[in-house]
Amino acid sequence: MHRAVTAIYRTSDVADLVRRDLEQLGIAGHNITVLSDTAGASGSTSGAQGLAGSAMDRLYDLGIPEDDIRTYQQALRNGDYVVSVDVDDESYLGRVQEIMRRPEDAYDLDELDTQYASADYIPRQPAASADTGSLGQRSGGEIDQDSTVKVVEERLNVGKQEVAGGAVRVRSFVREVPVEAEVELRSTRVYIERRPVDRPVNPDEMGLPDQVLEAHETAEVAVVGKEARVVEEIGLRQETEVQHQHIQDTVRKTEVEIEDERTGERSSLTGGTTSGTGGTGGSSRTF
């Protein structure tokens, strides 16, 4: 996501210090713009980025909300310096804001909004036609007001998005199933046996008391018991697989042909092509 971070400073020394710190952080020079009304219609010390119009008009090109333009215009009229940074990498945003807050000469924009609430509002001026008599003409059209040809390139932004690929679900539940088992059951039976005998009575058998013979029958019955045991464990395991995919697409870029009629020489320039992770554009105030 592109974010425009903007601040106002009292002196050019502080504005240049902030610009150098941002460049040392890794912000490209064409993403840093310094505006001052002291230089008149060309009041910008930005890098390769060109913005048409005066310093007042260039405020509109920085993506500043129209409700806040009045404050920045009054700051430029007072001789202050406006520094704006186009941050296209979210990882730099916090460090950029820290650098732009650090100088002691940085204004508190909320206080300026209150202070300049009654300041005159300067609407954006329409672009003036170039003086073709002094600047000359190219075949096919007039020279831009800032005498530059914009070299535009498209960037291939390759990102990654996680999509659902299905799920594996393990669910446990209890159900009853019929089972069978074999068991041997024993039983003891009592039978009366009568055996005919014919023998003399022994002397010790005479005069015996009453006798009782007793025997008990027994039988085994099946006794069923149940025991729960863990017989298996089931789990889920995730493994990450890396697939390398080759992306092919087309991007557009500006090719510039330079023709010098004085020497008859022709040369061409081609904008570079870059790629990276991308986002959507946007802007915001810092303070």
The pLDDT tens digits for 108-150 are 777 777 777 777 667 665 544 334 333 333 334 444 455 677 7
To the nearest whole number, what is the mean pLDDT of the chain? 75
Instruction: For residue 58, give the nearest of 89, 87, 34, 74 by alpha carbon.
Output: 34
Predicted local confidence at residue 218, as pLDDT: 95
Strands 265-270, 255-260: pairing is antiparallel
CA-based R_g, the chain, Å: 48
Predicted local confidence at residue 64, as pLDDT: 77
The pair phi, psi for residue 58, each rounded to 5°, is -70, -20
Predicted local confidence at residue 279, as pLDDT: 41
CA atoms within 13 A on the CB side of 226: 3
**Which carries the bigger pLDDT value, residue 153 or residue 17?**
17
Strands 275-276, 3-9: pairing is unpaired
Instruction: For residue 235, give the nearest of 159, 136, 169, 148 by alpha carbon.
Output: 169
Q: Residue 9 class from Cβ within 10 Å (0-12 exposed, 13-18 middle, 19+ buried)?
A: buried
Residues 209-237 pLDDT 10s: 778 889 999 999 999 988 999 999 999 88
Cα first-last separation, the chain: 19
Three-state secondary structure call for residue 42: helix
Instruction: For residue 40, give the nearest of 51, 53, 59 by alpha carbon.
Output: 53
Predicted local confidence at residue 123, as pLDDT: 65
Phi-psi region of 149 (alpha: psi -120 to 50; beta: other; left: phi over 0): beta
DSSP 253: B
The residue with tokens 């070299």 is 151
Q: Where are the domains of the chain?
A: 3-135, 149-157+248-272
**Which carries the bigger pLDDT value, residue 41 or residue 171?**
171
Predicted local confidence at residue 130, as pLDDT: 37
pTM of the complete model beyond 0.85 = no
Residues 59/75, Cβ–Cβ less than 8 Å: no
In this prediction, residue 207 has a pLDDT band, given cuts at 50, 70 and 90, of low
Predicted local confidence at residue 170, as pLDDT: 87
Residues 39-92 pLDDT 10s: 443 334 443 333 334 777 777 777 777 777 788 888 888 888 888 888 887 788
Strands 81-87, 141-142: pairing is unpaired
DSSP 147: S
CA distances from 1 to 20, 106, 155, 271 (A): 23, 26, 14, 23
- Of the chain, the percentage scoring pLDDT greater than 90 comes to 11
Residues 283/1, Cβ–Cβ less than 8 Å: no
Predicted local confidence at residue 185, as pLDDT: 92
The residue with tokens 């310094």 is 34
In this prediction, residue 240 has a pLDDT band, given cuts at 50, 70 and 90, of confident
Three-state secondary structure call for residue 235: coil
In this prediction, residue 246 has a pLDDT band, given cuts at 50, 70 and 90, of confident
Helix (H) or strand (E) holding 32: strand 32-36
**Which carries the bigger pLDDT value, residue 258 or residue 282?**
258
pLDDT at 280 over 50: no
**Which carries the bigger pLDDT value, residue 196 or residue 61?**
196
Helix (H) or strand (E) holding 260: strand 255-260
**Amino acid sitting at position 256:** V
DSSP state string for 86-137 = EE--HHHHHHHHHHHH-STTB--HHHHHHHTTTSPP-PPPPPPPP-HHHH-E
Predicted local confidence at residue 9, as pLDDT: 87
